[in-house]
Structure 1
Amino acid sequence: MRKKILFFILFAVSWSFSPAQSLDDYLVLAGENNPELKAFYQEYLAALEKAPQVGTLPDPELNAGIFFSPMERFMGNQVADIRLMQMFPWFGTLGTRKEAANLQAEARYHLFLDAKNKLFFEVKSTWFELYRIQKEIEINRENLEYLKEYERLALVKYSSSSNQSSSTDMSMSKAGSGTQMSDILRIRMQQLELNNSILTLEDELIPLQIKFNQLLNRDIHAKISSLDTLEPTELLTDKLVLLDSIQANNPILANFDAQYAALEQEERMARLEGRPMLGAGIDYMPFQPRPEGNMMMGGRDMIMPMVSITLPIYRKKTDSKIKETELLREATLLRKEKEQNMLAMEWANAIRDLENANRKIELYQEQKEIAEQTLKLLTTSLTANGNGLEDVLAVQQQLLDFQLKEINAVVMQHQSLAKLESLLSNDISSLN
């Protein structure tokens, strides 16, 4: 069983044999190295050791009495009394104890699976956040290059306008030069803002990288491979079918089922322990011959088989134990019901976020396409006659905003799907 669980930890996700580590590779590392997950696994292994403890007979009892002065008996002088007794619980008691312990171990195993799901979701979510920030830095740097090109065009136009020598057009030239200088200053302000945004995003990367490496339980400065491009995706499974699958497969609900079954066994065990225990053993009494008249009499050792039985006449503790298990079973059902409600809420929130992300991605893609077309037209006009730089900057800022919002929507989409997979305790594609 232990080998099976270790196999599950190592191959719970698929391997990707690419030169750079992929998200699947990092999930495997997290499963192997995360200390909290390993602690849950050790607790499960410890729970497995409970069944051998409770499923065996009680230790035999050996009593020995030695007479310093032999006791005179008809059989001779008794020098000792040695008694060995083995008690046997009522039929089925040991099997019931083992079954209850195994069910408790199963409950611990489902807690381990839940911890694995939460860990994997945390790794995925952090990975997607790293992707978002890196992509935003990349987009901001690209826009910074565009602004530098616009600044170059504006400087050329300003220089050309300043060199005009016609006295009749001097006032108009000065007015045009002032407008062009204001455009240059506006571009430089946007450059400063973008530079500040890039520095802020780079600062945000540091704690996320530390968090990601800590989830994998490795050095906080360990290098993280470049992230792959996240493409928009979709949920191919019906929402209600997914909810049914979550309620059927979620490990926390399975944990409550195992606890309930264990309590049923404990109730049965309480009833069995309220029945007599049987004991079997032997009593060995060594004798020495004793003189009687001119002859030595007796001296033959005696071996006597013995049986015993307990009398469970005090029923209050048995009835109380049965009542305790009944109340605990009822509490387990209530906690399971509460967890089902919480899972439904988490499912609903994840579906809401996913559908919002789907709509936003479609919207931002359309807006981005229109902005790119508009920017292309304005840039052509700017290059041809030098007019419309302010409009170009405005549309460029809108395009930047749409690009960043699309990245955020794509990340939200993938995080929502990761959340649903953590609730399902499986890959959603397995339902298709």
Structure 2
Amino acid sequence: MKLKIYRPLLFTVIATATAISSWAQQPVDSLASYLQIALEQNPAIQAQYHAYEATEKQIDQAGAFQDPELSLGFYTKPMEIVGGRQIGDVTLMQMLPWFGTKKAAKTEANHMAQMKYQEYLQAKQTTILQVYTQWYVLQKLDQQLKNAEQNKSLLVQLEELALKRFSAPTVSAGSNTSSMTSNNASSTPAASSSSTAGMGGMSMGGSTTANQPAASTPSTSNTISGGSAMSSMTSSSSMGMSDVLRIRLEIIEIENTIQSLQASVKTEKVKFNALLNREANQEVTIDKTIRQVDYLMADDQAISEIENNNPMLGMIQEQSLAYKAKSAMDRKMSYPMLGVGVQYMILGKTNDPMLAMGDMNGKDMIMPMLTVSLPIFRKKYNAEQEEGKMWWKSSQQTMQNTLNNLKSEYYGYKNQLDDAQRTIQLYDKQTTLAQTTFNLIVKEFVAGKSDLTNVIQVQRQLLDYQLKKAEAIANYNTMVASINKLMAVGSQTQKQ
């Protein structure tokens, strides 16, 4: 029974803990979070949105009537009239446009406000593309920095191998020297015995010519062998030391490259923080690896998305509708305007019995008024209507030209996207082959079958392929972001 009571509470606790855990695992410093910060804080976006809000306020202004006119008049000396003495009058007049004029004006103002809203969406798309582009630049630099550090580590290992090769000939030369010394030591008794025999021969009157070459030949051969060993030792030592120095030159160069990349990363982070409207020195966390984003949309579908969602086309469309509404308003303005008002005359009593008019003496008078404007100068109104039609036709042609440019821009991005894809595949294959070649040639270098020049050349090729592959992936991702900007992906959100 207690289990049934506590089971819902247990499930609630588990669900809450799971939700908190999943929320805690959300990456705080990710591209999505940075995009959200940019959309909320970027000054260019906020400026465009406030401009849209300001234009939206014009809708109520366009739908409002003209202010009524109130006029007051008085006589410094009351004027004698029939029924009393007129002291002054009060007139109130309200002008009314032709039926439907204000509705057309509100329609025009609404389309102008929507045009500003499309500019706001365009500003959002531009900022999104800038954030993506700057993010991929940082990723590319970070990848280049990692590759440079890895190659520095490889060069340090090569330096250790070269030092081992440099020390190896010295040991060999020492053994040659000791063997050479033992050979000389073993040949000395033979020489002395030969000379003794020679001396004995001389005292005995024997021939010493036959024994002389036998005594001199071992000494000459040992001298030649010792000289070749010394020259081999000197050559191996100099070659080994030059390898070490060349590797150290490469390490110094790549250290300078690392410092330059670190300075570039710092500069690009300042630009990235500027897009987010943050402090310049605020930390930016970049993904450890640069990944190629997916793009699987067909050309027909992409063109359709551009026609339906692109803010530039939407802005021109709203402008065209505003011109159309203005033309309708100009037509309504060419009709007469009506004025409705009332006049209140303040009368005092007159002392003249001829003007007293009995009970009407001194009674105030109220007079309703109606006025009509006479738009008889038709040339002006016709010109206004023709102006609206011409602006509407101009906007239609502008829209068609913009659509053609957007299509051309899309196919240009698509071509660059395909080139980047092929380049990525090429550098991927070349990187794999260069890595295999580098591993083999390092083993040959350790075994003494290859020199340092080949190792450094292959190592540079590997570094070059890695850097170009990262750059190609960054270019590919930037092209995808540019195409998404044309299709307004991510900007068709609700108003703030």
The answer to whether the 8 A contact 1:157-1:386 is kept is no
In the TM superposition, 1:47-86 aligns within 5 A as 47-86=55-94
The answer to whether the 8 A contact 1:27-1:120 is kept is yes
Matches of 2:110 and 2:350, distance apart in 1? 59
Matched, 1:348 2:348: no
Cα deviation digits, residues 324-349 of structure 1 (max 9, x gap): 21222222223223322331232122
1:205 pairs with 265, 269, 273, which one? 265
Aligned residue type for 1:89: P
Matched residue, 1:328:
391
Identity %: 33
Matched, 1:151 2:159: yes
SS of structure 2 residue aligned to 1:333: helix
The answer to whether the 8 A contact 1:93-1:272 is kept is yes
Matches of 2:274 and 2:143, distance apart in 1? 23
Q: In 2 relative to 1, CA 17–62 (structure 1 residues): closer, same or farther, beyond 3 Å?
A: farther
Matched residue, 1:7:
none
Matched residue, 1:3:
none
The answer to whether the 8 A contact 2:84-2:355 is kept is no
Matches of 2:447 and 2:421, distance apart in 1? 39
Matches of 2:428 and 2:468, distance apart in 1? 10
1:309 pairs with 372, 376, 383, which one? 372
2:420 pairs with 329, 352, 357, which one? 357
Aligned residue type for 2:300: L
The answer to whether the 8 A contact 1:210-1:221 is kept is yes
Matches of 2:490 and 2:79, distance apart in 1? 80
Cα deviation digits, residues 135-183 of structure 1 (max 9, x gap): 1011001000000100101011101112322135332333233332232
Q: Alpha-carbon deviation of 1:413? A: 0.8
Please give the TM-score of this superposition, normalised by the length of structure 1.
0.91
In the TM superposition, 1:6-405 aligns within 5 A as 18-163=26-171, 164-165=173-174, 166=176, 167=226, 168-293=228-353, 297=358, 298-385=361-448, 387-405=450-468
Q: Alpha-carbon deviation of 1:282? A: 1.2
Matches of 2:398 and 2:354, distance apart in 1? 84
Matches of 2:381 and 2:58, distance apart in 1? 23
> Which deviates more, 104-113 or 202-211?
202-211
Cα deviation digits, residues 252-308 of structure 1 (max 9, x gap): 010000000000000001110010011111111122222345996412221121111
Q: In 2 relative to 1, CA 338–379 (structure 1 residues): closer, same or farther, beyond 3 Å?
A: same
Matches of 2:288 and 2:85, distance apart in 1? 93
Q: In 2 relative to 1, CA 427–41 (structure 1 residues): closer, same or farther, beyond 3 Å?
A: closer
SS of structure 2 residue aligned to 1:91: coil
Aligned residue type for 1:144: K
SS of structure 1 residue aligned to 2:98: coil
Q: Alpha-carbon deviation of 1:422? A: 1.0
Matches of 1:374 and 1:292, distance apart in 2? 128
SS of structure 2 residue aligned to 1:233: coil
The answer to whether the 8 A contact 1:96-1:266 is kept is yes
Q: Alpha-carbon deviation of 1:186? A: 2.4
SS of structure 1 residue aligned to 2:282: coil
Matched residue, 1:421:
484
Q: In 2 relative to 1, CA 182–396 (structure 1 residues): closer, same or farther, beyond 3 Å?
A: same
Q: In 2 relative to 1, CA 98–406 (structure 1 residues): closer, same or farther, beyond 3 Å?
A: same
Matched, 1:412 2:472: no
Aligned residue type for 1:363: L
Please, what is the CA RMSD of the aligned residues? 2.1
Aligned residue type for 1:35: P
Aligned residue type for 1:252: M
Q: In 2 relative to 1, CA 191–228 (structure 1 residues): closer, same or farther, beyond 3 Å?
A: closer
Matches of 2:343 and 2:25, distance apart in 1? 71
Q: In 2 relative to 1, CA 293–382 (structure 1 residues): closer, same or farther, beyond 3 Å?
A: closer
Matched residue, 2:11:
none
> Which deviates more, 133-142 or 211-220?
211-220
Matches of 2:354 and 2:133, distance apart in 1? 100
Aligned residue type for 1:359: R
Q: Alpha-carbon deviation of 1:420? A: 0.7
Matches of 2:105 and 2:295, distance apart in 1? 45
Aligned residue type for 1:27: L
SS of structure 1 residue aligned to 2:403: helix
Matches of 1:315 and 1:43, distance apart in 2? 36
Matches of 1:294 and 1:35, distance apart in 2? 79
Q: Alpha-carbon deviation of 1:54? A: 1.4
Matches of 2:341 and 2:288, distance apart in 1? 73
Matches of 1:196 and 1:349, distance apart in 2? 37
The answer to whether the 8 A contact 1:37-1:112 is kept is yes
Please, which runs of 5 or more residues in structure 2 have no aligned partner?
A: 1-22, 177-225, 492-496
The answer to whether the 8 A contact 1:107-1:255 is kept is yes
Aligned residue type for 1:57: F
SS of structure 1 residue aligned to 2:351: strand
Q: In 2 relative to 1, CA 179–294 (structure 1 residues): closer, same or farther, beyond 3 Å?
A: closer
> Which deviates more, 333-342 or 149-158?
333-342
Write 1 or 2 for the structure with the bigger share of helix.
Answer: 2
> Which deviates more, 185-194 or 374-383?
374-383
> Which deviates more, 41-50 or 17-26?
17-26
Matched residue, 1:6:
none
Matches of 2:168 and 2:148, distance apart in 1? 30
Cα deviation digits, residues 69-114 of structure 1 (max 9, x gap): 2222222112112111111100000111011001000000000100
SS of structure 2 residue aligned to 1:169: helix
SS of structure 2 residue aligned to 1:234: coil
Matches of 1:360 and 1:117, distance apart in 2? 28
